[in-house]
Structure 1
Amino acid sequence: MAKLSTFTKLIAAALVSQSVLAATPEQLGNELTPIGAPKAAQGDIPAWDGGLTTAPAGHKLGANLPNPFADEKPLFVITAETAEQYQEKLSEGQLAMFKRYPDSYRIPVYPTHRTAAYPQAVYDATKTNATNARLTEGGNGVENMVEGGVPFPFPENGLEAIWNHIVRYRGGSLVRTSVQVTPQSDGTYTPVRFRDEYTFRQNLEGLDPTKDKNVLFYFKQDILSPARLAGNVLLVHETLDQVEEPRRAWVYNAGQRRVRRAPQVSYDGPGTASDGMRTTDNFDMFNGAPDRYDWKLVGKQEMYIPYNSYNINSSEHSYDDVVKAGHVNQDLARYELHRVWKVEATLKEGKRHIYAKRTFYIDEDTWQIAAVDHFDGRGELWRVAEAHNMMFYDYVVPYFAFEALYDLNSGRYLVLGLTNEEENAYDFGVKRSHKQYTPSALRRSGRR
């Protein structure tokens, strides 16, 4: 029976691949959503009807989002005892989590809502990109791309699919106040509070079209607490082709009151204040240069992924409510059945990275990575990542409520992006100029 199921999945993946290759730009917004997913209902996955784009009356822009599905109950809950019967719609990492935490890890499955939506400008740019965008030689960048749009709505290989995630629309600019935690195995933790901001190059005020043509966006991260880390700042100029021009990064050390270049902010360099629990390229599920891996587009499949995660992100729940021993409080989580692109990244011969293989599951309606399985040099599953997706309908931006990265060996994990206890945590569309993202500005903003 298992062999038949696997064969059926392979046939389905092949059919999906054929339909993608046959798709045309004219179908975007018609038979397909404006960014390339099937629009009609198929099986247990409903039709896409434009997504969720309206906030309730009285909602204050940027405030904690009300849950539009608060009255819904799970259709069923997958537990360690029942996981095997749902394995075709679970990742290897999710199955491993059931084995690692059989008494507490569960997946509550709710009705599927295809809430993803983007501004019309993103759809228009995607339609242009479908005809014009292409990978640069070697696949380390994208050229002829209208920024903001999906470059490859009909991906023909794994590199095109991962570039869709890397360059996806995220509101043009954002300032976010959030918390990162790295709990001990007993669930105790010390929150690290960040103020992140990024601005995509085309959204800079007074943009000089001749300057920084290879920069995708500018990123700054201030640590607000605890006191021992407060005042440290990271500045990044995120280059598009990082083989041609490596990422530019600087750190301001509050204790030394000095700005230094930070070449370690790349690939598997340690993530900021992460206690060794994540790499630099684990941030945003995957970021940076893809050149150390061979990328294979496996195909599409249906999968239970975190989606419409309003409840676990609610201000009604404290960080203590969310953060538990071993993993986040799965009773507060929401999973739905969605189609994902499966992409396998295998470390190239002669290249170095602590992850020898990674398997990515990319949501078809947002091109955001929903889950990642990370394998070590022995080929064993090591870390499992899940992104709890949420549609920021007040700004019309799909983004993450938070990202979780679980270490199966140590029993510890990291959560990045918690905002339950923050007030007005998100502000999309902020205005910034290039001079605010310079090393000299970083030095001037240093404090403590």
Structure 2
Amino acid sequence: MNKKALRLALAIGCLVASVPAQARITEQEAARLGADLTPVGAIKAGNADGSIPPYEGGITAPVPGTVPGLSEADPYPDDKPLFAITAANMAQYKDKLTAGEQAMLARFPESYRLNIYRTRRSSALPADIYAVIKAQATKAELVDDGNGIDGLGLSPVPFPIPQTGQEAIWNHLVRYRGRTLNRIMTQSVVQRDGSFLPVVINDLFQFKAAIPDTPENANNLFFAIQNVLAPQRLAGTVLLVVDKINVVKEPRQSWVYNAGLRRVLRAPEVAYDNPGTAADGARTTDNYDMFNGAIDRYDWKLVGRKEFYVPYNAYRIDSRNNRYADILKPNHLNPDLLRFELHRVWVVEATLKPGLRHVYSKRVFYLDEDSWSTLAVDHYDGRGALWRVGEGHLMQFSQATVPFYTTEVLYDLQNDRYLTLGLNNEEEKDIDFTWQPEEGYFTPGNLRRLAK
């Protein structure tokens, strides 16, 4: 071997050595699931001082008082706040507050606070889903630089013992949200003075577990349709998205029915930091569901599992006793209706790769260990300043054994307006996790019919 070839071989060897291996977990590691770890990989035990209790299975049956198809009853109606964190005392709790929470407390010291409640580990998945997670735990591995998964099968938690930031964020992306989902919900941009106009949207999803197992569906992660129903000036816009497991093999596919043109068009811009549907520029496409889509524009770092005060058990805000005006207040959601608890979360930092573009240069995610739902996100602008603060107000939908958001909120610290997505307090029905789409429902040809 000549000197030039030797130098090249050494350089390649050093490069390979510097890339961390992303191996499948061992049978011995997988044996911890259901033992000292829950089936999704959470620590079953409580914390040292008892402020986080042991996991006892969560809510797996309908809560008394729940009205099927209409509303969820609060399983903890007698819980009162243990204390409140305000701008005046937040320094005392700084190590358990996200950067976004601290920024919100500092910006709105007279009105914003976190009411801290007893920690209730209510999240749970169906027993058959736990069995799938266990069966696939030693089979899943990242491929194509982390942009795809081999061995996913039907598991909604491919990496219950994550070793990298990519593995952790993939758990959020494929987490269990039921097999199908049909909801009428609102998206509202709340201005500084508290004014807002709800945009009513019909969201429809078919997730991996309910997609027919055929060769053409092998790389499909979920099908989704967003149909804007109101106000009149936006009604008739219908978006179809087919999301992929491996975006290197096949990127996200999307189409939109344009009511003005009365045509179905390909919509490749429905991704990354392009504006979200009917959101008045208040969120990016990948802000939906706290984060969605391809992960290839960021480097992902797994910071570790830590304790934070995060939104949880959001039954009070979900109550049909509340009107939208009761919830949506100037600058932020009504703190009287919000519930924060101390939970262990996986912290993941996403940093924009050199040479790639996104309006967020850095994002910090806080992933619930019991459900893999993202409960909070700090979004930084191109200058490195904290820009938008995301919160996912999670609750357990007892009728379907599904942890899901009652609302997502995205606070803009630069213009003091914010966006909420998911509220349905004034709509006719609750989320339907039993909906069955007819054959050919998630196709471009169906969009024109839905618009009518």
Contact 1:129 1:152 in 2 (8 A): no
Deviation, 1:367, is 0.4
Match of 2:151 among 141, 144, 153: 144
Match of 2:391 among 363, 366, 386: 386
**Counterpart-to-counterpart distance in 1, 2:416 and 2:66:** 39
Match of 2:97 among 84, 90, 95: 90
Give the equivalent residue in structure 2 for 1:279. Answer: 284
**Counterpart-to-counterpart distance in 1, 2:375 and 2:239:** 26
Give the equivalent residue in structure 2 for 1:400. Answer: 405
Q: Where do residues 324-339 of structure 1 align in structure 2 (5 Å cutoff)?
A: 324-339=329-344
Deviates more, 1:426-435 or 1:293-302: 426-435
Contact 1:155 1:161 in 2 (8 A): yes
Contact 1:90 1:304 in 2 (8 A): yes
Deviation, 1:23, is 7.2
Report SS of the residue matched to 1:223. strand
**Counterpart-to-counterpart distance in 1, 2:314 and 2:213:** 39
**Counterpart-to-counterpart distance in 2, 1:410 and 1:282:** 18
Give the equivalent residue in structure 1 for 2:198. Answer: 191
**Counterpart-to-counterpart distance in 2, 1:23 and 1:272:** 45
Q: Where do residues 99-110 of structure 1 align in structure 2 (5 Å cutoff)?
A: 99-110=106-117
Give the equivalent residue in structure 1 for 2:303. Answer: 298
**Counterpart-to-counterpart distance in 2, 1:203 and 1:110:** 36
Percent identity over the alignment?
Answer: 51
**Counterpart-to-counterpart distance in 2, 1:61 and 1:211:** 35
Give the equivalent residue in structure 1 for 2:260. Answer: 255
Contact 2:64 2:73 in 1 (8 A): no
Contact 2:65 2:72 in 1 (8 A): no
**Counterpart-to-counterpart distance in 1, 2:31 and 2:261:** 57
2:312 aligned with 1:268: no
Flag the 1:84–1:280 CA change in 2: closer, same or farther, 3 A: same
Q: Where do residues 216-365 of structure 1 align in structure 2 (5 Å cutoff)?
A: 216-365=221-370
Report SS of the residue matched to 1:24. helix
Give the equivalent residue in structure 2 for 1:9. Answer: none
Match of 1:31 among 33, 36, 42: 36
**Counterpart-to-counterpart distance in 2, 1:25 and 1:40:** 17
Scaled by the length of structure 1, what TM-score is found? 0.93
Deviates more, 1:293-302 or 1:431-440: 431-440
Code of the residue aligned with 2:415 in structure 1: it is: S
Match of 2:88 among 81, 90, 109: 81
Code of the residue aligned with 2:54 in structure 1: it is: A
Report SS of the residue matched to 1:387. strand
Give structure 2 stretches of 5+ with no counterpart: 1-24
Deviation, 1:431, is 1.4
Give the equivalent residue in structure 2 for 1:439. Answer: 444
Code of the residue aligned with 1:39 in structure 2: it is: K
Report SS of the residue matched to 1:27. coil
Give the equivalent residue in structure 2 for 1:10. Answer: none
Scaled by the length of structure 2, what TM-score is found? 0.92
Give the equivalent residue in structure 1 for 2:122. Answer: 115
Code of the residue aligned with 1:429 in structure 2: it is: T
Deviates more, 1:110-119 or 1:129-138: 129-138
Contact 1:123 1:149 in 2 (8 A): no
Report SS of the residue matched to 2:135. helix
Give structure 1 stretches of 5+ with no counterpart: 1-19
Contact 2:282 2:418 in 1 (8 A): yes
